Amino acid sequence: DAGLQIDVVAPRPEFVYLPGMIWIPTGLRSGADLTLSLNSFFARQRVNFHAGRVTGVENGGRTVVTDKGKIENDGLIISSGGRFIKKLPGIEHAITPCEGIPAAEKIRDRLASMEDGGTIAFGFSSNPKEPSAMRGGPMFEFLFGIDRWLRKQGRRDRFELVFFTPAEKPGQRLGEKAVKGILSTMAKRDVKTYLGHKIKGFEADRVITEGAEFRADLIIFMPGMTGNKWFAESGLPLSEGGMLKANRYCQVEEQEKVYVAGDSGSYPGPGWMPKQAHMADLQAEAAAANLVGELNGDQPSATFKAELVCIIDSYDTGMMVYRTDKRNLVTPAFSGFHWAKRLFEWHYLREYRK
């Protein structure tokens, strides 16, 4: 719509391709590879960029409050991501890789310093009040990728790799076939597992669960997610897990011209529906279409498909997982899927590199 003005609020005019962070610890990618300036893209798309951090909304979403001032709007899409729950005692001793490039680089540097080997612990948990608010898939990729990388270097025998999670069946959102494949791969790669026990906390060199505790020289852990801190004071409806409550149109419930896409929202759908970049893209498309419709006087009608698509990468190979309400496909590991994932990255980022 030529009559619309688009304003984007973010700390910096840049895009960080988070799916590629799994390759930073093993040197296949650097932070610079995955960080793209959006200045040229915004200029081409005639987008007005506002540098700042959002601290709240007022007037039912019509006013966005930032640390640099207030911005008025006629329609709002919130896509500010989730926030990791950092309440476990000693969690400062664990690295949460999906927090950003600095975290992935810290893993890289810690691995480089472990010349004599050691124990690396990989784990994740969910938000008990919103089980879908979790990041399990990347943890399998960090685990399998680092395992494969160490084997390529001829150093795997110096390391013990351990995987832990409160879930008895890790990866269950991917489907039963995927769970079997993941656990089978862990067994084949000599990964020790601690499954089904609540995590009590961490020490500098130790993981403590209700069922057992074990030492670790490097702890890589992804806690469950909740909503942004400012959500609580926004007046917008929240799910029990702290996310913005959305309907099937990605409209924040009972709000006019306020939408949400991605990890910030809690959406109706099957229990396996993931917090995943692909789902965020589908939700963003629906949110944008419905907001434009509302601004033109129409009722929201665009919905998003519940669809899980991912390649669980292992440094130079990968396993494809696809799930909808009607299908659940899991392929054997194949080097072609690794290259397909790298090709998708190139294709996805091409528009922003112009």
Structural domains of the chain, with CATH: 6-83+226-295 (3.50.50.60), 84-224 (3.50.50.60)
Cα four-point dihedral sign 291, 296, 297, 302: negative
For residues 81 and 83, what is the distance between their CA atoms, to the nearest angstrom? Answer: 7
On the 0-12 / 13-18 / 19+ scale of CB atoms within 10 A, 86 is exposed
Residue 132's pLDDT is 84
CA–CA separation, 279 and 307 (whole Å): 7
- 3-state secondary structure (DSSP) of residue 61: helix
Q: Are 285 and 293 in contact (CB under 8 A)?
A: no
DSSP label at 45? H
| DSSP code of residue 300 | P
- Residue 26 burial (C-beta neighbours within 10 Å; 0-12, 13-18, 19+): buried
Cα angle: 62, vertex 241, 213; to 5 degrees: 145
What stretches in the chain show pLDDT beneath 50? Answer: none
Mean pLDDT of the chain: 95
* Torsional class of 320: left (φ above 0), alpha (ψ -120 to 50), beta (otherwise): beta
pLDDT score at 1: 58
pLDDT attached to residue 2: 60
